Structure 1
Amino acid sequence: MQFEPKLETGVLLKRYKRFLADVALPDGQVITIHCPNTGSMKNCLFPGEPVWFSTSDNPKRKYPHTWELMQTDQQHLIGINTGRANALAEEAINQHVITELLGYDTLKREVKYGSENSRIDILLTSQTLPECYIEVKSCTLLEDQVGYFPDAVTTRGQKHLRELIHMVTMGHRAVLLFVVQHSGISTVKPARHIDPQYADLLEQAVAKGVEVLAYKTELSPQGSQIIGPCNVML
């Protein structure tokens, strides 16, 4: 996935009101950009370090700039825009990078499913294989050399796990796919210390047959792509 037009850069000053961040540009101007991340962004905020942002030509947008990347004080890159995870996953599936998901004929996004009024991130279908329901999650929280999900209590994520369990009981295939958008993460674990209910539900999901995958993203201001699997510790 290439960034078109090219990303612009600045220095993070602060994130506030959840969806806003102030950035200092190289010429000294300070602008406010949109922060497309609903999580706590724990261990993802490094004031004084470089950020990169995209720019929309939509005249109706109050904040035309969108925060895409953050550089940490350890020189790691983090994908801030969680909305990119689904596009990265779709691209990787179509390019046969995610080997566990080979053999399907069609890919659809945002299909209604389940019993709790949900939409699945990706649905794969084939004439010879069971339907495959894939829930995509962006993993960016790095603690003690381990990546954790979630970074805050997530009732929405808990609902998605229940829906995946339901799909398995209906005879379908269900996959939880962690897209790792932090260059320092090579292992992913459920964040029991943050959301124990999510961790319990994930254990139940795995016991019921839900598959858990984690794939690492190569990040750069030019573009990002999923490059290979990460370890998952349940």
Structure 2
Amino acid sequence: MENWFYNPSITFYMWSISHLVFIFLTLFTLFAFYFLRNQLIPYRDNIRILVGWALILSRLSLDIWYLITNTWNLNHSLPLELCSIATICCGIMLLTNNKFLLEVFYFIAIGGAIQAILTPDLQFGFPQFRFLQFFIDHTLLILAPLLLIWLYQYSITWRSIWKSFLTLNLIALFVFIINILIDANYMFLREKPQAGSLLDFLGPYPYYILFLEIVCLIIFSILYIPFYIKRKNKYKKAAASNN
């Protein structure tokens, strides 16, 4: 049990075989759901609820792991990291089939989870619980908004970018205040992660936060492109049919 549940001597190495394997598994899962989306529509309610509860239970299991392993700490164990917030909100989004949460967390969840999977701030290596929970959680985090888009034909508008961006900044402001009060670094708002991440390319503190705002808008705009293309093609077909 010790080897898979809690063993600090088994550390995580970025771009190791286990890391690459789970990146592949994430991509495989997403492509499988995309190509099977039409066949899955009759089961969409069950899938939505199952993934929604899986996200909620994923975060709950992490809290239980912190307590069992005696590693819970006020400065790093609260659900105040962006992906932890997104995990809880995306779980609620799926369980309630909430369109507003989809508009907001389509960008936040997918953008944040991709960065986390590629450059994890993770200490525990495979096959430990924390490693498995981390990658399963972030894979489901990417999948969650896509389920509502692929299986329920929900769409994202240009205004959704600004709803998401404003919400992200309100979350960051709230978390920054908490960081000051408890001397923590949730969402890396006071310093960069020690293990290294994409933030290393954005300059020193506090300038990387300003550049991160620009990067977020760029990423959000890229994530909007498929909907822009779809909407543009729809207008072209409508104009052609009128002619």
TM-score > 0.5 by shorter chain: no
Structure with greater proportional strand content? 1
**Higher percent of residues as helix:** 2
TM-score (norm 1): 0.26
The higher relative CO (CA closer than 8 Å, separation ≥ 6) is in: 2
Bigger CA radius of gyration: 2
